[in-house]
Structures are given as structure tokens and as C-alpha cells.
Amino acid sequence: MNQGSLDGMLVVDLSRALAGPHAGQMLGDLGARVIKVEAPAGGDDTRSWGPPFVTGADGADYSTYFLSCNRNKESIALDLKSDDGRAVLTELLARADVVIENFRTGVMDRLGFSTARLAELNPRLVQLSITGFGHDGPEGGRAGYDQIVQGEAGLMSLTGSRPDDPQRVGTPIADLLGGIHGVVGVLAALVERACTGVGRVVRTSLLSSVVGVHAFQGTRATVAGERPLAQGNHHPSIAPYGLFRCRDGAVQMSVGSERLWQAFCAEFGIAADAPGFGSNAERVAARAETIRTVEAAFADSDTEPLLARLAAAGIPAGRVRSLPEVYAWDQVRSQGLVVEVDHAALGAISLPGPALRFFDVDSDGETERARTAHTAPPTLDQHGDEIRAWLEETADRVPAATGASA
């Protein structure tokens, strides 16, 4: 089975940059047909984001940023301010199961595609809208860029070596979470549509997506009345849990239970019930001393033998890998996290792969059932002629009730 769970569904992706395109890519990974609508002059903004760029056989430079979030899509260039562009988009939306947009609030209305108009055009359509700070509220129309939202949503106050060193997360996590939450909403709306026959508007934002993953840091503020702050590579509520120096580098380790603490101490000759060490709460309160004690025990060990020793003792631990090391790692490749695609201009390239896998289970065991063949991110308008031809061929299959006239 090569098609994926959403085989037969059509997604019209009007979004650009990262949050919306990431959502569209995830739906494409799940088997949906995703048609990316781009502006004729330059296309998606990320086509010009770089370096790095890679030069194709046609002599043009291709952004690796764009390549990261647009696999399994087709591209059509439409001027949505023109009659022709709006007519083609109307035909696409009349056939679609999902539309994705991340314009600023009001832009879709001005283009003539308000939520009400879309529901009239195609009552089964699930509409996903991703904004920076929410579609309403006192700052609803505010433009949202990832790092700005990381700061405004409190994430940067939790990230960094110390409280006066706020740092952004190394990937555009607000954008990515916005896309992921958007997909969750779309899938829920599709399940509901299977019962009601009617689509729904799904809204999320970068702000809500970051606040929505504050987890225990959030309840430290809302319930305990604390002000969580950045404290580097050590957990605020568990000790020892973090990055610890050894002779030739560092290892990461999580001692997440008293059982593990006893095992760790037995392996490294530490008095488990020494003053300040008797419970997790005591170790958290004496974090600096806990870290010094652990690093003293690691001082004469190199990384690899230390990791082997920790594994033998049953202590969760790991190294810090560079991204080239990650993509060369056999465990990563065994999980389908690197996919090979054939790009129209770049030829064979490797991309980070999808995070989900699906299996059928029967008496003979498990059989993987997912999209196994992926397509490369498209060049601008690569599929424009094919999509227009398909619209003409399927014109008589669109129910008149959708109002899908050009």
C-alpha cells in the first residue's frame, strides 16, 4: 500500500512560509493530493530564503528551506487578484476536502473567499486558518513570525543558559507546532464530516500552539505561582537530569525515579542517601551540588565507555549529535526519517522524512501501510498545465449544489 490513509482527498494549500506549508506537507505524507497555489512572481516566500541554495541543472538556485516543507505537493501559479486566478481557485475549492491558508486576518475576505463564501461554494470543505496571534482579540490582526512569537509566548524566557540569556529554539518551533496543531484540527473535522456531511472552520495560531505546549512550565506559573526561568541544560523539576561533562565531552542523562537514582549511585559509588540527596525534591533544591557530584563521578570517563556503562546500569542516557550524524544514524534511517526523491531540477536528493508510520495487523503479524513513495517539492508552476487540464476533464463531476461556477 503506497497511498496513505488520506488517499483520495484533495487539499488546496494557499499558505506560504512554514506553518501552513508544514501542515500541507503532513497531509501529503498521509496520502492526500496537495495542490500548492503560489503567486506567479516568485512563488512561496521561502523559495528565496537562503543561503543555503543548491543550483539545479537549469542553472537556477533552489532554497533548501523551501525543500524542507513542500514534498508531496503539486504547484500551480495563480494571480488571485485576476479573474482567471480566482476562477481556477474557485474550481479547485469546489473539488477540495481541505483548504489551508495563513494569510493575515481579512485577506481571504478581500480576495472574495470568506469563510461564508467557501462554505457556500463547498459545504463539505474543511477550512484551516493559521495566524500569528489568533484571528480575533485585541491583537488578532498582528503579523506573526516564529522568533517573535517564541518571545511573546514565553518560550524564550525558558530557553537559554541562565535567566538573563533568552534564546530561541534552534528550529522554527512556533511555526512547526502551528502546522501540527492545524493538522490535528483538520483530521478531527474530517472525522466529524464523515458523520455530518458538513465541513468546519479550524483555526489555530503560532501563539496558541506555543502556549499549548508549556506543559508543566505553564502550571508552575498558573498553579504554583512561580516565574519559570531559563536554567540551561538541566531539568527544573528532576535531578539529576541534563547534560553532564565527562573527560572528552558530555553526555545527557535522566535519573527520573528513585529506583534509577539508587541504581546510578550503586554504579558510580555515590551515597544515595547522603544529606541533600535523599529525594528528588532535595536533589532539585541542591541542584548545583548534585551536578558537581555527578560530573566528579564522570571526570575520568570518555563519552562512549561512559554511555555503555550507563546503559548497562539501566540509566537513560545519550549523546548530542550533529545533524549530519543524525541523518547518517542507522536508527533514524530504519524509521523512514530520510526519504529519497527525484527533483525536477536537482535530481536525486534526500529529505527529512515523515514522523508517522502505519501498520495493518492480522494473524500473520504486522504489515506497514503508509505512503512509501514520496515526490520532491515542486518547481514553481510545475503542474499548472496538468491541473488546469484536470479541472476541465472533471468539470461535469462537480455537484451543482456547490455553486462552482467560474
Reported as a single tens digit per residue, the pLDDT across 344-370 is 999 999 999 999 999 889 888 888 887
Q: Output the pLDDT for position 363.
A: 87
Confidence of residue 400 (pLDDT cuts 50, 70, 90): low
* CA pair distance 273, 279, nearest whole angstrom: 8
Q: Using omega within 30 degrees of 0 as the cis cutoff, is the peptide bond preceding 275 cis? A: no
Catalytic hit among 175, 302, 330, 360: 175
Cell of 285: 533544591
* Annotation marks residue 360 as catalytic: no
Q: What share of the chain is helix, strand, coil (3-state, %, to 5)?
A: 40, 15, 45
Residue 175 has pLDDT above 70, yes or no: yes
* Res 404 pLDDT > 50: no
**Angle (deg, nearest 10), helices 303-312 and 258-268:** 130
Q: Sorting pLDDT into bands at 50, 70 and 90, what band is 29?
A: very high
Read off the C-alpha cell for 167. 534564546
pLDDT at 246 over 90: yes
What is the reported pLDDT for 235? 94
The whole-number pLDDT of residue 390 equals: 96
Give exposure, 56-87, as e/b (b: 16+ Cβ within 10 Å).
Answer: eeeeeebbbbbbbbbbbbbbbbbebeeeebbe
**C-alpha cell read off for 226:** 512561580
Query: Which of the four pLDDT bands, split at 50, 70 and 90, describes residue 27?
Result: very high
Chain position carrying cell 510545475: 382
- N- to C-terminal Cα distance for the chain? 37
**Residue 165 confidence (pLDDT):** 94
For the residues 249-270, what does the mean pLDDT come to? 96
Q: Is the pLDDT of residue 406 over 50?
A: no
